[in-house]
Protein backbone atom coordinates (compact mmCIF):
# COMPACT_ATOMS: atom_id res chain seq x y z
CA UNK A 1 0.00 0.00 0.00
CA UNK A 2 1.51 3.29 -1.02
CA UNK A 3 0.77 6.72 0.34
CA UNK A 4 -1.73 9.01 -1.30
CA UNK A 5 0.31 11.42 -3.38
CA UNK A 6 -2.51 13.61 -4.63
CA UNK A 7 -5.42 15.48 -3.11
CA UNK A 8 -6.85 13.79 -0.02
CA UNK A 9 -10.31 13.69 1.46
CA UNK A 10 -11.00 16.76 3.58
CA UNK A 11 -8.95 18.96 1.23
CA UNK A 12 -11.86 19.89 -1.00
CA UNK A 13 -14.90 22.12 -0.67
CA UNK A 14 -16.78 20.81 2.41
CA UNK A 15 -20.04 22.41 1.32
CA UNK A 16 -20.00 20.74 -2.09
CA UNK A 17 -18.88 17.42 -0.55
CA UNK A 18 -21.79 17.46 1.90
CA UNK A 19 -24.25 18.29 -0.89
CA UNK A 20 -22.99 15.31 -2.89
CA UNK A 21 -23.00 12.99 0.11
CA UNK A 22 -26.59 13.80 0.94
CA UNK A 23 -27.82 13.93 -2.64
CA UNK A 24 -28.58 17.64 -2.67
CA UNK A 25 -28.58 18.33 -6.39
CA UNK A 26 -27.76 21.70 -7.94
CA UNK A 27 -30.46 23.36 -10.05
CA UNK A 28 -31.09 21.47 -13.32
CA UNK A 29 -29.15 22.74 -16.32
CA UNK A 30 -30.22 23.06 -19.90
CA UNK A 31 -28.69 20.77 -22.45
CA UNK A 32 -28.40 17.02 -22.96
CA UNK A 33 -29.26 14.67 -20.12
CA UNK A 34 -26.09 13.47 -18.31
CA UNK A 35 -24.95 10.00 -19.36
CA UNK A 36 -23.99 9.00 -15.82
CA UNK A 37 -25.04 9.49 -12.23
CA UNK A 38 -22.68 10.42 -9.41
CA UNK A 39 -23.22 6.92 -7.99
CA UNK A 40 -21.78 5.43 -11.20
CA UNK A 41 -18.61 7.46 -10.74
CA UNK A 42 -18.30 6.40 -7.10
CA UNK A 43 -18.78 2.70 -7.87
CA UNK A 44 -16.16 2.86 -10.63
CA UNK A 45 -13.70 4.58 -8.29
CA UNK A 46 -14.28 2.01 -5.53
CA UNK A 47 -13.76 -0.86 -7.98
CA UNK A 48 -10.50 0.75 -9.15
CA UNK A 49 -9.26 1.22 -5.59
CA UNK A 50 -10.19 -2.37 -4.70
CA UNK A 51 -8.32 -3.72 -7.74
CA UNK A 52 -5.20 -1.58 -7.28
CA UNK A 53 -4.99 0.95 -4.45
CA UNK A 54 -6.01 4.49 -3.67
CA UNK A 55 -3.20 6.06 -5.68
CA UNK A 56 -4.79 4.54 -8.78
CA UNK A 57 -7.91 6.62 -8.25
CA UNK A 58 -7.47 9.73 -10.35
CA UNK A 59 -10.02 11.62 -12.35
CA UNK A 60 -8.36 10.41 -15.54
CA UNK A 61 -8.33 6.73 -14.53
CA UNK A 62 -11.92 6.77 -13.32
CA UNK A 63 -13.00 8.46 -16.56
CA UNK A 64 -11.25 5.70 -18.51
CA UNK A 65 -13.19 3.08 -16.57
CA UNK A 66 -16.44 4.80 -17.51
CA UNK A 67 -15.42 5.50 -21.13
CA UNK A 68 -15.90 9.24 -20.78
CA UNK A 69 -13.53 12.19 -20.97
CA UNK A 70 -11.82 13.37 -17.77
CA UNK A 71 -13.36 16.82 -18.15
CA UNK A 72 -16.87 15.34 -18.28
CA UNK A 73 -16.29 13.69 -14.89
CA UNK A 74 -16.18 17.12 -13.25
CA UNK A 75 -19.88 17.33 -14.07
CA UNK A 76 -20.42 14.82 -11.28
CA UNK A 77 -17.63 15.48 -8.78
CA UNK A 78 -15.61 18.71 -8.33
CA UNK A 79 -12.35 16.86 -7.71
CA UNK A 80 -10.54 13.93 -6.20
CA UNK A 81 -10.98 15.07 -2.59
CA UNK A 82 -14.76 15.02 -2.85
CA UNK A 83 -14.60 11.70 -4.68
CA UNK A 84 -12.66 10.12 -1.79
CA UNK A 85 -15.34 11.31 0.63
CA UNK A 86 -18.01 9.74 -1.55
CA UNK A 87 -16.08 6.49 -1.87
CA UNK A 88 -15.53 6.18 1.87
CA UNK A 89 -19.13 6.92 2.72
CA UNK A 90 -20.28 4.51 0.02
CA UNK A 91 -18.40 1.52 1.46
CA UNK A 92 -19.45 2.48 4.99
CA UNK A 93 -22.91 1.60 3.70
CA UNK A 94 -21.84 -2.07 3.77
CA UNK A 95 -21.68 -2.02 7.57
CA UNK A 96 -24.67 -3.52 9.35
CA UNK A 97 -26.43 -3.18 12.69
CA UNK A 98 -25.67 -5.76 15.40
CA UNK A 99 -28.46 -8.16 16.24
CA UNK A 100 -31.16 -6.84 18.54
CA UNK A 101 -30.96 -7.71 22.21
CA UNK A 102 -27.21 -8.16 22.47
CA UNK A 103 -25.45 -6.94 25.58
CA UNK A 104 -23.05 -4.04 25.14
CA UNK A 105 -19.94 -6.26 24.96
CA UNK A 106 -21.41 -8.48 22.27
CA UNK A 107 -22.76 -5.47 20.37
CA UNK A 108 -19.43 -3.66 20.40
CA UNK A 109 -17.67 -6.87 19.38
CA UNK A 110 -20.05 -7.23 16.44
CA UNK A 111 -19.37 -3.64 15.40
CA UNK A 112 -15.61 -4.21 15.55
CA UNK A 113 -15.78 -7.51 13.63
CA UNK A 114 -17.87 -5.83 10.94
CA UNK A 115 -15.29 -3.07 10.54
CA UNK A 116 -12.41 -5.61 10.49
CA UNK A 117 -14.12 -7.42 7.60
CA UNK A 118 -14.81 -4.14 5.77
CA UNK A 119 -11.14 -3.13 5.88
CA UNK A 120 -10.15 -6.50 4.45
CA UNK A 121 -12.64 -6.06 1.60
CA UNK A 122 -11.47 -2.51 0.93
CA UNK A 123 -7.82 -2.18 2.10
CA UNK A 124 -7.54 1.29 0.56
CA UNK A 125 -9.67 2.61 3.43
CA UNK A 126 -6.50 2.46 5.54
CA UNK A 127 -4.95 5.02 3.18
CA UNK A 128 -7.76 7.50 3.83
CA UNK A 129 -6.94 9.96 6.66
CA UNK A 130 -9.49 9.88 9.47
CA UNK A 131 -9.07 13.41 10.84
CA UNK A 132 -11.81 14.84 8.61
CA UNK A 133 -14.29 12.01 8.08
CA UNK A 134 -16.88 12.21 5.31
CA UNK A 135 -20.00 13.87 6.69
CA UNK A 136 -22.35 11.54 4.87
CA UNK A 137 -25.28 9.34 5.95
CA UNK A 138 -23.41 6.02 5.97
CA UNK A 139 -20.53 7.45 7.98
CA UNK A 140 -22.98 8.99 10.43
CA UNK A 141 -24.65 5.56 10.74
CA UNK A 142 -21.26 3.95 11.42
CA UNK A 143 -20.59 6.33 14.32
CA UNK A 144 -24.16 5.91 15.58
CA UNK A 145 -23.71 2.11 15.78
CA UNK A 146 -20.47 2.48 17.72
CA UNK A 147 -22.14 4.78 20.24
CA UNK A 148 -25.39 2.83 20.44
CA UNK A 149 -23.46 -0.23 21.57
CA UNK A 150 -22.43 1.55 24.79
CA UNK A 151 -25.41 3.85 25.24
CA UNK A 152 -26.86 3.73 28.74
CA UNK A 153 -24.14 1.62 30.39
CA UNK A 154 -22.87 4.44 32.60
CA UNK A 155 -20.37 6.31 30.44
CA UNK A 156 -20.40 10.02 29.77
CA UNK A 157 -20.73 11.33 26.23
CA UNK A 158 -17.05 12.18 25.90
CA UNK A 159 -16.16 8.72 27.21
CA UNK A 160 -18.52 7.10 24.70
CA UNK A 161 -16.77 8.98 21.91
CA UNK A 162 -13.40 7.86 23.29
CA UNK A 163 -14.56 4.23 23.37
CA UNK A 164 -15.64 4.46 19.73
CA UNK A 165 -12.24 5.87 18.80
CA UNK A 166 -10.38 3.27 20.86
CA UNK A 167 -12.17 0.36 19.20
CA UNK A 168 -11.92 1.68 15.64
CA UNK A 169 -8.26 2.52 16.24
CA UNK A 170 -7.56 -1.06 17.35
CA UNK A 171 -9.40 -2.42 14.30
CA UNK A 172 -7.43 -0.21 11.91
CA UNK A 173 -4.04 -0.95 13.50
CA UNK A 174 -4.45 -4.72 13.51
CA UNK A 175 -6.10 -4.81 10.08
CA UNK A 176 -3.13 -2.88 8.70
CA UNK A 177 -0.76 -5.54 10.06
CA UNK A 178 -2.94 -8.28 8.64
CA UNK A 179 -3.01 -6.72 5.18
CA UNK A 180 0.71 -5.93 5.29
CA UNK A 181 1.47 -9.58 6.06
CA UNK A 182 -0.77 -10.78 3.25
CA UNK A 183 0.92 -8.40 0.83
CA UNK A 184 4.37 -9.59 1.91
CA UNK A 185 3.34 -13.18 1.26
CA UNK A 186 2.11 -12.23 -2.22
CA UNK A 187 5.15 -10.18 -3.20
CA UNK A 188 7.80 -12.56 -1.81
CA UNK A 189 6.03 -15.80 -2.63
CA UNK A 190 6.79 -17.02 0.90
CA UNK A 191 4.41 -17.73 3.74
CA UNK A 192 5.46 -16.61 7.21
CA UNK A 193 6.34 -20.21 8.06
CA UNK A 194 8.49 -20.56 4.93
CA UNK A 195 10.24 -17.25 5.65
CA UNK A 196 11.06 -18.41 9.20
CA UNK A 197 12.33 -21.75 7.92
CA UNK A 198 14.89 -19.84 5.86
CA UNK A 199 15.80 -17.33 8.56
CA UNK A 200 16.08 -19.65 11.55
CA UNK A 201 19.11 -21.73 10.50
CA UNK A 202 21.10 -18.55 9.89
CA UNK A 203 20.05 -17.05 13.21
CA UNK A 204 20.75 -20.29 15.07
CA UNK A 205 24.34 -20.14 13.85
CA UNK A 206 25.01 -16.82 15.58
CA UNK A 207 26.13 -17.50 19.19
CA UNK A 208 25.24 -14.00 20.37
CA UNK A 209 21.63 -14.53 19.30
CA UNK A 210 21.02 -17.70 21.31
CA UNK A 211 18.61 -18.31 24.17
CA UNK A 212 21.29 -17.80 26.78
CA UNK A 213 21.54 -14.13 25.82
CA UNK A 214 17.81 -13.57 25.30
CA UNK A 215 16.12 -16.16 27.54
CA UNK A 216 12.71 -14.50 27.91
CA UNK A 217 12.25 -13.43 24.29
CA UNK A 218 13.48 -16.84 23.14
CA UNK A 219 10.95 -18.68 25.30
CA UNK A 220 8.02 -16.38 24.55
CA UNK A 221 8.86 -16.06 20.88
CA UNK A 222 8.98 -19.83 20.45
CA UNK A 223 5.66 -20.26 22.24
CA UNK A 224 3.96 -17.56 20.16
CA UNK A 225 5.50 -18.84 16.94
CA UNK A 226 4.29 -22.36 17.67
CA UNK A 227 0.80 -21.08 18.49
CA UNK A 228 0.48 -18.86 15.41
CA UNK A 229 2.85 -20.61 12.99
CA UNK A 230 4.16 -17.12 12.28
CA UNK A 231 6.04 -14.29 13.93
CA UNK A 232 2.71 -12.57 14.60
CA UNK A 233 -1.00 -13.16 14.16
CA UNK A 234 -2.89 -9.90 13.58
CA UNK A 235 -6.29 -11.60 13.84
CA UNK A 236 -5.35 -12.92 17.28
CA UNK A 237 -3.98 -9.51 18.25
CA UNK A 238 -7.24 -7.89 17.15
CA UNK A 239 -9.48 -10.19 19.15
CA UNK A 240 -7.19 -10.37 22.18
CA UNK A 241 -6.85 -6.58 22.19
CA UNK A 242 -10.58 -6.07 21.76
CA UNK A 243 -11.35 -8.34 24.71
CA UNK A 244 -8.90 -6.40 26.89
CA UNK A 245 -10.42 -3.08 25.78
CA UNK A 246 -13.86 -4.38 26.69
CA UNK A 247 -12.52 -5.57 30.06
CA UNK A 248 -11.25 -2.06 30.73
CA UNK A 249 -14.57 -0.48 29.80
CA UNK A 250 -16.41 -2.95 32.02
CA UNK A 251 -14.13 -2.14 34.94
CA UNK A 252 -14.80 1.58 34.46
CA UNK A 253 -18.56 0.97 34.42
CA UNK A 254 -18.37 -1.17 37.57
CA UNK A 255 -16.35 1.50 39.36
CA UNK A 256 -19.06 4.07 38.56
CA UNK A 257 -21.67 1.81 40.10
CA UNK A 258 -19.87 1.52 43.44
**Residue boundaries of the structural domains of the chain:** 14-92, 104-257
Q: Is the pLDDT of residue 15 over 70?
A: yes
| CATH class entry, domain 104-257 | mainly alpha
DSSP per-residue codes, 178-230? HHHHHHHHHHHS--HHHHHHHHHHHHHT-GGGSTTTSHHHHHHHHHHHHHHTS
What kind and span of H or E run contains 39? Answer: helix 38-51
pTM for the structure as a whole: 0.89
Give residue-wise pLDDT tens across range 184-216. 989 999 888 888 888 888 888 888 878 888 889
Q: Distance between CA atoms of 222 and 224, rounded to whole angstroms?
A: 6
CA distances from 49 to 1, 63, 87, 164, 168 (A): 11, 14, 9, 26, 21
Reported as a single tens digit per residue, the pLDDT across 63-86 is 999 999 999 999 899 999 999 999
Is 113:87 a contact under the CB 8 Å cutoff?
no
Q: Which CATH number fits domain 14-92: 1.10.10.60, 3.30.420.10, 1.10.340.30, 1.20.1060.10?
A: 1.10.10.60
Query: For a pLDDT cut of 70, what percent of the chain falls above it?
Result: 92
pLDDT of residue 28: 57
Tens of pLDDT, residue by residue over 102-127, are 999 999 999 999 999 999 999 999 99
Amino acid sequence: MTGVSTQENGDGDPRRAIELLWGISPPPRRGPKPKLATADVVRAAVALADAEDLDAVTIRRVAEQLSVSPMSLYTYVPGRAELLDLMTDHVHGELTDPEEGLGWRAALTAVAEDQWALLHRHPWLLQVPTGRPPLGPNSFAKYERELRAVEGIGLGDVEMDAVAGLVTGLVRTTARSSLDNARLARTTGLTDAQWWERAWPVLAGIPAADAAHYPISSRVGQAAGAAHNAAENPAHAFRFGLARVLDGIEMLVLQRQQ
